[in-house]
Structures are given as C-alpha cells and as structure tokens.
Structure 1
Amino acid sequence: MTEASASRSRKRPLRKPVLLVLAVVIVLLAALALFNRDDYEQADLPFITRQIQEHKVWSATVRDQEQRIEITTIDGKRFQAEWEKPDKARELTDALRKAEPKSGYTIEVSTTRLLLGPFEIFVGAVLVAVLVAVSRRLRRFQKDR
C-alpha cells in the first residue's frame, strides 16, 4: 500500500461520523425552526388589558380556542397572555373594539389548520431529505464495517 492510499484510508473512517453529526445538527436546527416559532414575550392579562385601554396596542389577535391574546405595541414589542375563564375573550374583544388599535385586531374562534404554509412545507422537505441522506450514509457505513 502506498503512503497516499494509507493516509486516505485513515481519513475515511473519521469523515463518516463527522457527516453523521453534521446531519443530526441540521435536523435538530430545522426541527427547532419548525416547532419553536413563538417570539411573543409572556405577560399577565392585566398588563395586556392596560396596554389596550391606554391605546398602546398597534395590533392584536385573540385566539379564542387557545385562550390566548397576542398583541404588538406601538413601539414594536410583542406580548402574549393566556386566560382560563371562558368569558374573558368577550371582555378582551370589547376592550379592543373600544380602543380601536391602529392596525386592527383579529379574533380567531377556531385554529384548526389543515393546510401548511410555505415555510412549514420547505422545512418538512429539508427534514425528509436529510433523514433519507442520513439513512443511506448509515447503510453504507454498516456495509463498510
């Protein structure tokens, strides 16, 4: 065996685990991007209500089924709060109607989504492609052993 082929055979076993680790990292990052897209800061409901009453809300979304309100303030900060009482959504909606936020408000009664958005489809396709590539690499790695 020549010196060049000996050095190549030494590098090859190290390359496969590095590629495997890299693939796992990519899958984890893609999964985090897909499932952790919540950029609202948690706040208590009296704070949210006070922001609405003081006309500091640019836009708001009341998610009735999830019992959650998400607001964006005039200065661009984003907050969310949750409630347990079923009539709280009506109170918040009435407060929003009186305050009339500059960019408006949305009330979502049902959050059932059957169709995925373009971002979710792209991330899902990347995940599938990476998983297929990793499984092929693992099969090759097992055959070489």
Structure 2
Amino acid sequence: MPPQDATRRAGYRGVPHTADLRVEAWAPTREECLAQAVRGVLASCLDLTGAAGVRRREVVLRADTDEDLLADLLDEVIYWLDTADEIPVEVELTAVPGGLRAGLHMADTRSLPATGAALKAVTLHDLRFGPGPDGWRCAVTLDV
C-alpha cells in the first residue's frame, strides 16, 4: 500500500519481486491509475528525465475486465518498445464503451539511459486492479 498520506493522490512504486518486476499504482480514477501503472513500469527500466514526445499514437483497447485492460495497455507499451524503440512519456486515457482510448505521446528510447532490465511481457499471476475506499489501485508483475 502507498504511504498513508499519499492515498488520496496518484502515484506508483516498485515492489521487490524475485527475478521479475512488480509495480503497484494508485489514483483517484481508473484512467489515472492505469496511467500511473504505465509510468511506474517505464520508470523501472529507463531514465525518463528530459524525455520528450516526438509522435503521438492512438489506440483503442477493449477488454472484459479492468485487469485485462491493465494487461492489454501494458502489452501495448511493450509492443511499441520492442518494435519501434518507442515509449509513451505522456499517456492520455479516456473511457469508451467496453474499453479505453489511449493517446500515447511517444519518445525514442535510443536516447534514454537504461536503468533496469528489459521488459518482456505482462504476467497474469496476481494481477489486481479495482476501486477501493480511497480510489483505484492496481498491482502487476512483468517478466524481465
């Protein structure tokens, strides 16, 4: 859980996990919690200081559950990292029927210093995402 005084704000943190990457995120809204999860995952492997978006990508994700939506969004981020050496430095998320519209402001990763292991895939083990008394919370593990 985030520190008590941070429960009403948005944020993320890395959580120790054997041989994988685990990130927890929290925010007042579902969309901001998803955006915080993306930020937390990317900050674990790249130094984003000074990163600037050079292009925008739009994607609509559809999923049956919020957990699936979290996994799909992070899979999308990993896809662009793997195929185009790009990551979103700004994430604009809007709810749509049955899913989410994501506006991703992409930066070129070749100019960003690596700070952690390369991301491989989202795991479904112990994937959590949902509302709580202080807003939305999620936890996700990624293979690295």
**Computing the radius of gyration over CA atoms, which structure comes out larger, 1 or 2?**
1
**Could you say which structure has the higher strand fraction?**
2
Report if TM-score (shorter chain) is over 0.5: no
User: Taking structure 1 as the reference length, what is the TM-score of the superposition?
Assistant: 0.23
Question: Higher relative contact order at CA 8 Å, sep ≥6: structure 1 or structure 2?
Answer: 2
